[in-house]
Amino acid sequence: MQTPDRLNRYIETQRQKDFERQFHLGWEQYETWEEATVGERADASHTFTVADDDVASYNRACGETDPLYVDPEYAGVHSPTGELLQHPIFVTAVAFYCIGSSGIGSWIRTPGARNPGQQIEINEPFGVGEVITTTITTRQKFVQRGKHYLTMFMEFRNQDGVLKATWDCSLILPATRADVGRFVHA
């Protein structure tokens, strides 16, 4: 499965080019609903070093055109932070990068998942050069009206331990690895 041509124009940075966007690949390694353990807590498998090009590219992909969001030199002079302003959900790009394709939280990539709701809180913007670590806690796992819900809580901290953001992420997932496989091969 290839990235549709209409989306390729948004893949600008080397990190984006290296990131596997085809979540059907490697799905066998993802944590499943049946395997998730409520209360389990672990660091994500990757860290994310924030760069101007990550922020600008993400902002452009969200349709931003204001130079405060897409021009690092302009933002350096005119932004209240002295850096590019960030789209409010830039944290989702950080999360998907940090989680990786196996282990705790990897179920966020599950083919066939549906999104019943999220809650993101930004304490302060990520700073260029900050190294962001993500801690994931499996919060809830339940069945409601025959659907399997899984919720994790993510904390995003910089290299100094400053809490930058949190994300309460819930998805409705296929229940078992076999169920995910049926979706992948449909």
Q: Which residues pair with 170 in a beta bridge?
A: 117, 151
Rounded-to-integer distance, Cα 87 and Cα 84, Å: 10
- Residue 86 near residue 126, CB atoms below 8 Å: yes
Residue 183 has pLDDT above 60, yes or no: yes
Q: Where are the alpha helices (DSSP H) in 114-173?
A: none
Average pLDDT of span 157-164: 98
Instruction: Categorize the per-residue pLDDT at 1 as very low, low, confident or very high, splitting at 50, 70 and 90.
Output: very low
Q: Within the chain, what is the greatest distance between any pair of CA atoms?
A: 54
Q: List, for residues 119-160, the tens digit of each pLDDT value.
A: 999 999 999 999 999 999 999 999 999 999 999 999 999 999
Q: Which domains does the chain have, with CATH numbers?
A: 29-184 (3.10.129.10)
Instruction: Report the chain's mean pLDDT, rounded to a whole number.
Output: 89
Nearest Cα to Cα of residue 134 among 146, 126, 145, 142: 126
Q: What is the pLDDT of residues 40-52, one digit of tens each?
A: 999 999 999 999 9
